[in-house]
Structure 1
């Protein structure tokens, strides 16, 4: 399955996805000279070129009946994510969620016989749920040299 990444997704995610999905062709719209192309034209063209999935950050795309119809007619899997927080922290959380989810999503899509709509929910922004922090000067763990 070929995967097309929309222009609203940072191009930096492209190389990470290519490394995580080595048996897939992953393209960013900017690479194939489709940057600036409206989704109503892009979606049918992508389907004609053999793309099987479309990754976008366009959270409101499914609220537009014309775009929803274009997605349906394309037959491509529609994978979307949101960036719930601003700035570099928000970008990091969103890209982390996409990179972590895509190998699982692609594996699941291999086993389905029909078009799927996927929403990558994201990572919890609270550091307490994403990492542990220890100050070894105040509370040394058992493995810390004394």
Structure 2
């Protein structure tokens, strides 16, 4: 079972349920844990049978008490960052997370203990597509 922390967009739940079929994906909002302090969140999630938490909260590991709770929980912690503002930043962050999760979960399934995972973000300054004007530069397959 995988729990998405409240800083993860709720819209990611359905996408992750599709790419991680066979895994139960929940969000803290859906299970009525919104606002729960991280110290209790990790403890309660572990007791409830969750194996991993996905978060965008970078400050957790800088706080000794919260970091201690992550360790005590024994759960995998999967983190990602939203480094860019607005909808484009949201798209890049969620896209990076969704693209990485099938491989992350496959590797964690073989782990012999707790793991801390950091998802590498897609670079939004690099184009991830190509646009062709077939009238100016027709590809070889384009009818003449």
Moved more, 66-75 or 135-144: 135-144
Q: Within 2, Cα distance between the matches of 1:121 and 1:21?
A: 19
Query: Alpha carbon RMSD of aligned pairs, Å?
Result: 0.9
Who is 1:109 aligned against?
108
Who is 1:142 aligned against?
140
1:124 Cα deviation from its structure 2 partner: 1.1
1:137 Cα deviation from its structure 2 partner: 2.2
Q: Which runs of no fewer than 5 residues in structure 2 stay unpaired? A: none
Q: Within 2, Cα distance between the matches of 1:127 and 1:116?
A: 30
1:16 Cα deviation from its structure 2 partner: 0.6
Who is 1:133 aligned against?
131
Q: How does 1:34-45 map to 2 (within 5 A)?
A: 34-45=33-44
1:127 Cα deviation from its structure 2 partner: 3.8
Who is 2:63 aligned against?
64
Who is 1:33 aligned against?
32
For these two proteins, the number of residue pairs brought into alignment is 144
TM-score (norm 2): 0.96
Who is 2:97 aligned against?
98
Q: Within 1, Cα distance between the matches of 2:104 and 2:41?
A: 22
Q: Which runs of no fewer than 5 residues in structure 1 stay unpaired? A: none
